[in-house]
Structure 1
Amino acid sequence: MNDTTFVDSLRSSIDSVKNSVVDYTPRVVVALLLVLVGFILAKLFSKWVTRLVSSVESSRPVKSFAKSMGLKSLEINWVVNILVYWTTLLVFFNAAVDVLQLTVLSNTFSSLVGFIPDLLAAALIAGLSILGANAAHDVVMESAKRAKVNAAKFLAVSARVVVLIFGLPLAASQLNLDLSILTNNITVVVAGIMLAFGLAFGLGGRDVAQKMLKDLHDNWKK
């Protein structure tokens, strides 16, 4: 009796495993097909988009813009290639784990796919902030040199830092990173430096400041 019960139980377990394998096999096949299609499309999409970006980079307006920013070229096609490739793969991986009903992995891939727009926005804002900071540095440096201001380098670096202080935290906020404490501290430090610089001119360098302002005025009149 006990032997019969054991055999029946074992047989039932084997049948259950067989049924599970039979039911799950089509899902595995579909998931593998999705991953394979994902690899193929990721390769194709990344190649197409990279060619498009490369053609835009080689256009005359973009080259002129890069030159005005002090760059030989923008050279962002490799970044776009990586983003398009892995974004496409993540979308198909997410679909594959959904088919396999792997809840934990599905939630993870869904979070990664949902994070990509924020990452792109942060990268765009950070890139524009860096370009703006470099442009501000060059403009201030050139203007100060034309005016023959002795502190041209200090003013140019200060302009770059100010732009980055406002731009980079905005990029970080797209990633839900709170840098307000760091930003406030940097702002206080920069303000303190500027205040000390002003006091040095006001208290100990009146003659120097007067001469600099006079030279600045005379040079601009010329």
Structure 2
Amino acid sequence: MPTVPIQNWGDAVFLAVSNTLNNFLSAIPQVLGALIIIIIGWLIASALARLATELLRRAGADRLMATHGSSVYGQKSAQFKPSTIVGEIVKWIVRFVFLVAAANVLGLTQVSQLLNQVLLWIPNLLVAAVILLIAPVLARFVRGAIEVGAGRMGFSNAPLLGRVAEIAIIAFAVIIAINQIGIAANLVNTLFVGFVAAIALAFGLAFGLGGREVAAQLTQEWYQASRQTAERVRQQASSASSAGQARPQAQPQPQPSQNPLGSSQMPGGARPR
């Protein structure tokens, strides 16, 4: 636009208002386009959210959480409905996609880049959430298996072993989730190494202290079995030696002499009558 020489204050005010009005009028199509994109995005997001919520509700996710969620996630978990949570997540992901498109239409480069980074970070957040949801279920299963197995083996502190394993699995899941969303990766890795060492030490102490009776019982059984085997071998060797000494020597049996002619002769050359 060519510059216009300003003669007085009236010309200055008129020029400023004219430039502002021209910029506003030129931006109206972009603003209307961004508003249309946002409205369409909001409608689509709401429809997809209702669809996801209804599918999960019919699949029984809410009923499953209400029935078994309190035993795994605590009593307050019954207040949350998985179908509603997933529906909200779907809604906001779709909204963010349309917000990025609207920012691009308006030419807001910085806003578009920021929203795009948030949108790319959402999958990591979802993976971390899935890890945190699965970890308590797996930890509870492993705890029950260890308690039953250690109890049958005779460990006196089987519940302690199961609890240590449960805490270890949940702690590992939390560390992995934090690392997944990219929060203080170096610090998390350092804490992870220290935590692994601490859990290994705690589990070793619990296993060693609780397995003293089992180890003593196994050692006693092995010792008794070895003694019984040695006693049987000694008895068998003694029986074999006694049988060899008591057996009489066999005398050779005389063989009757045979005449080459096929007839037997009496002593003195006489023939039998």
* TM-score computed with the length of structure 2 as normaliser: 0.64
The aligned residue for residue 108 of structure 1 is 114
CA distance in 1, matches of 2:35, 2:220: 76
Alpha carbons of structure 1 residues 122 and 214: separation in structure 2 relative to 1, 3 Å: farther
Unaligned runs of 5+ in 1: 216-222
RMSD of equivalent CA atoms: 3.4
The aligned residue for residue 149 of structure 2 is 143
CA distance in 1, matches of 2:206, 2:146: 18
The aligned residue for residue 216 of structure 2 is 210
Check the 8 A contact 1:57/1:75 in 2, yes or no: no
Check the 8 A contact 1:165/1:187 in 2, yes or no: no
The aligned residue for residue 84 of structure 2 is 78
CA distance in 2, matches of 1:85, 1:209: 58
Cα drift, residue 131 of structure 1: 2.0
Q: Does residue 53 of structure 1 match 2:56?
A: yes
Alpha carbons of structure 1 residues 5 and 115: separation in structure 2 relative to 1, 3 Å: same
Cα drift, residue 200 of structure 1: 4.8
Cα drift, residue 48 of structure 1: 0.1
Cα deviation per residue 1:116-142 (whole Å; 9 max; x = unaligned)? 111111112222222211211122223
Check the 8 A contact 2:154/2:213 in 1, yes or no: no
* 3-state secondary structure, aligned to 1:163: helix
Structure 1 residues 15-164: aligned runs within 5 Å: 15-57=18-60, 75-164=81-170
Unaligned runs of 5+ in 2: 222-273
Check the 8 A contact 2:124/2:180 in 1, yes or no: yes
CA distance in 2, matches of 1:154, 1:111: 44
CA distance in 1, matches of 2:178, 2:192: 11
* TM-score computed with the length of structure 1 as normaliser: 0.76
Cα drift, residue 28 of structure 1: 1.5
Check the 8 A contact 1:94/1:109 in 2, yes or no: yes
Check the 8 A contact 1:149/1:212 in 2, yes or no: no
Alpha carbons of structure 1 residues 76 and 191: separation in structure 2 relative to 1, 3 Å: same
Larger relative contact order (CA 8 Å, sep ≥ 6): 1
Check the 8 A contact 2:175/2:192 in 1, yes or no: yes
Check the 8 A contact 1:129/1:163 in 2, yes or no: yes
Identical amino acids, percent of aligned pairs: 21
CA distance in 1, matches of 2:6, 2:180: 66
CA distance in 2, matches of 1:210, 1:190: 25
CA distance in 2, matches of 1:24, 1:175: 38
Structure number with larger C-alpha Rg: 2
